[in-house]
Amino acid sequence: MVFPSKNNRLVGILVQRIGFQQHFTVFQPKILLVSLRPPVADFLKVNTHGVSRENPGESAGRGTIRDSWGNIISAVSSYYGTSQTSVHAKIRALLEGLGLCDRLQVKHLIVELDSQVVLNIVLDKQQSTWQVDFMVQQIKQ
């Protein structure tokens, strides 16, 4: 029997005395290599990411534009405040990233984001809430 702390050892002794068995498993995290791939020549890539501490809760987002060598051309990050869902934050980050590309007059662009839900909403494969409809319409323009 494995007891990771002193308190758990005492609980384990008590559990054994009254006739129960206690089993602990050791968690081994899986390590994955994650890397950003730069876009092909003559293209820029915008990576966006939006997060919410709770759902809804405090939220923020960011967008990074990189060239075909992986160099950062420009970036934006914003705090969105409270009462935002994670989907709302991800859509808002995408809108800000695309707005940055528009201001820089990017002609050839690859968009990369981390949310299948947001992709489905933008491609009209999934309905969005009224709170994000206006941003989705701006993204499509």
- The tens digit of pLDDT for each residue in 65-93 reads 999 999 999 999 999 998 789 999 999 99
Q: Provide the CATH number for the domain formed by 44-140 in this structure.
A: 3.30.420.10
Among left, alpha and beta (phi > 0; psi -120 to 50; other), residue 129 is beta
pLDDT digits (tens, 9 = 90+) for 17-66: 555 555 555 566 777 766 677 888 889 999 999 999 888 899 999 999 99
Nearest Cα to Cα of residue 119 among 26, 48, 32: 48
Q: What share of the chain is helix, strand, coil (3-state, %, to 5)?
A: 35, 25, 40
Considering the entire predicted model, what is its pTM? Answer: 0.73
Domain spans of the chain, in order of start: 1-29, 44-140
